[in-house]
Structure 1
Amino acid sequence: MAMSYDGLWGIGELAERAGVSVKTVRFYSDSGLLPEAGRSAGGHRRYDAGALERLRMIRSLRRMDLPLPVVRRVLEEENTPGRTGGALEDAVAGQLRALGSQVRALRWKEAALRSVQECRPAERADRLRLIAAVAVPPSTAPLARFWRAWLPPRMPAGSVTAFLDIAVPQPPEDPQPEQVLAFAGLNALVTGDCGGSAPTQPAAHRAADARASTVLYAGLAEAYELAGTEMRLGRRPGPGEALDGFVDAYASARIAADTPAFRRELLRQLAADPRIDRYWELTAELTGVPGDPPEPTPGSAHDWLVAALDAEAGTVQPA
């Protein structure tokens, strides 16, 4: 279809060339996204050749689900000399992030449904309720709140963040049904859906001040890492660098000497402290690869070190 004698198209001509409805062209015109070149003597809208390219750009941006305000910013930048296309780049990056979140949510929902499908019929209602209590995509905020309430109130923010990085497991991008179930169990555990309240912080972990708590948890993190290496090698709990670092963390926090008597008292206190083994069991199920041996967690490393302390105590005569 050729242009009219004045080099302009009517709204119907533009719609036909762009492959859209007249209603669509009118909507974008009324929104200010598609300027008119003028009006005919009868008051009809007229558009030039640039309107066709602009309309095609609008349609391309809308097909990417970009909202009208974003489309407007992209078009304004396109018509501004010297601009570098940052609006379009930001829009594409934002859509990619949103799409990634949607893909993660769909993967999570698929694994959740498979978890319900694969369990026994009598268990499906309870499992569905357990899994449905988890946000999609899953959020670790309830786990972080649990640990923030559990940690010493005087603990510096940086030390809290470092501990949370270790203690709060991240949901896998492409989970298996058993991993969805493990995360749902963690969510229920920390929100009280399992019928229990948050455990009391172990007495051995209660530091006197901010300095002591920082020293204690930094030392424990190093000891857990060393113990994890021993566990991956299949070594039984016993004396060594990991155990020495573990004891030193408590001794340094309390400004005490690492003596056989201190170790015996520490063992007694640790043995009497409350435990949250279920949290760490579920963490191992969540972060591990199905079919492979479970990766060490801070909880399992702690148990290994307490067992090492106990094994050492059995070989040391009282002072």
Structure 2
Amino acid sequence: MFSSHDGLCSIGELAERAGATVKSVRFYSDNGLLPEAARSAGGHRRYGPEALDRLRLIRSLRALDLPVPEVRRVLEEEDEGAAGAPGGALEDAVAGHLRELGSQLRALRWREAALRLVHESPPAERAERLRLVGAVGAPPSTAPLARFWRAWLPPRMAAPAASAFLERAVPQPPDDPAPAQVLAFARLYAFASDPCTGGAACQPEAHRSAGAREAAVLYGGLAEAYDLAGAQLLGDREPGPGEALDCFVDAYASAYGVRDTPGFRRLLAGWLAADPRLDGYWELVSGVLTPPGTRPAPTPGGCHDWLLGALAAERDPGTDPERGDPADAEPAAGTAPARAGARRRAPAAA
């Protein structure tokens, strides 16, 4: 209770008791956050005892850097007696501010690593690295990488299948990157923004003839094969026959309506060998995802290369009674490889 005869206090006394400035109290009052109880005969503001707790609450919220509109919503909910309700204004405001602060911290960590990269670069490489990192925002956007893959994937590929592949193919920038990871992402960003000068020639030919069902079957099977191959890579196993290779071949055979035969495997090896390569992309992805001094994690590209090596390592030119005759590898009329023309090539996902 204030000591005055009417139980009210002046703006100066309120500010002193709350440890605030008169200017800030006046600002909160003018913005409707701190209502006045009355005005004196001379027109001076007068506040009731409840104003002290309200002012302290306002200052606590502002100390968390919550903007005035968020503070207003919290106070309105407080007035309605629902401040502690789940999902209330205070909880929403704090959660939103945490997300915003997290984004700001990621941007600051990215800028710090970029500055360290430029600072530590050899003088001959400094200008080029500055150009690369300067083209990338902070925190960096992965939109150019997603656009690159959407142009690479079969045009009629179903959205769920395309999204599932993009989750694997587009690396998320690390929250606390090392300078080398910043450089790898900047180079990846430049690669995806201008991957080649050949336009459609950069895309596997058979992608342009694969339908939505074929593309979904193919990339769904490849995802499973890459998981299996990734385990082989982590175990330092040399490319060779096994479940991973069988799954890899089956993805192509199922997508194009043919049987898995030794002949088909030889044809498939030729098709994939002739397709465009994205080795540089996957090497940069590995650089983005791998902190210095740690073992690189398998990427879809690395798994694809392991499977190609396993396919090439097979030496079975004869007939396999369980898989049929090599002649059975010829795709049926109307399937994607048949429509691709004389230079039939199955699509390589990596």
TM-score (normalised: structure 2):
0.86
Question: Once superposed, what is the RMSD of the aligned Cα atoms?
Answer: 1.9
The answer to whether the 8 Å contact 2:188/2:281 transfers is yes
Partner SS for 2:202: coil
Q: Given the alignment of the two structures, is residue 316 of structure 1 paired with residue 317 of structure 2, yes or no?
A: yes
Aligned-residue offset at 1:126: 1.1
Aligned-residue offset at 1:49: 1.2
The answer to whether the 8 Å contact 2:169/2:300 transfers is yes
Amino acid at match of 1:88: L
Q: 1:184 maps to which residue? A: 186
Q: 1:260 maps to which residue? A: 262
Identity %: 65
Q: Given the alignment of the two structures, is residue 69 of structure 1 paired with residue 64 of structure 2, yes or no?
A: no
C-alpha separation in 1, matches of 2:177 and 2:198: 28
Q: 1:46 maps to which residue? A: 46
Partner SS for 1:97: helix
Aligned-residue offset at 1:293: 3.2
Q: 1:110 maps to which residue? A: 112
Change (3 A) 1:291 1:315: farther
C-alpha separation in 2, matches of 1:21 and 1:197: 66
List runs of 5+ in structure 1 lacking aligned partners: none
Aligned-residue offset at 1:84: 3.0
C-alpha separation in 2, matches of 1:48 and 1:197: 76
The answer to whether the 8 Å contact 1:227/1:305 transfers is yes
Change (3 A) 1:82 1:23: closer
Partner SS for 1:258: coil
Q: Given the alignment of the two structures, is residue 14 of structure 1 paired with residue 14 of structure 2, yes or no?
A: yes
How many matched pairs? 317
C-alpha separation in 2, matches of 1:293 and 1:316: 37
The answer to whether the 8 Å contact 1:8/1:49 transfers is yes
List runs of 5+ in structure 2 lacking aligned partners: 320-325, 327-350
Change (3 A) 1:289 1:15: closer
C-alpha separation in 2, matches of 1:155 and 1:57: 54
C-alpha separation in 1, matches of 2:207 and 2:317: 25
Aligned-residue offset at 1:135: 1.1
Alignment equivalent of 1:232, drawn from 234, 238, 251: 234
The answer to whether the 8 Å contact 1:204/1:269 transfers is no
C-alpha separation in 1, matches of 2:275 and 2:318: 24
Alignment of 1:166-315 (within 5 A): 166-192=168-194, 196=197, 200-206=202-208, 208-312=210-314, 314-315=315-316
Q: Which whole-Å deviations, capped at 9, do the CAs of 1:150-179 have from their partners, x for residues lacking one?
A: 111211111111101111111112111111
Q: 1:131 maps to which residue? A: 133
Q: Which whole-Å deviations, capped at 9, do the CAs of 1:253-294 have from their partners, x for residues lacking one?
A: 000111122111111111110111100000111112322332
Alignment of 1:16-165 (within 5 A): 16-85=16-85, 86-165=88-167
Indicate the larger mover: 203-212 or 173-182: 203-212
C-alpha separation in 2, matches of 1:91 and 1:8: 32
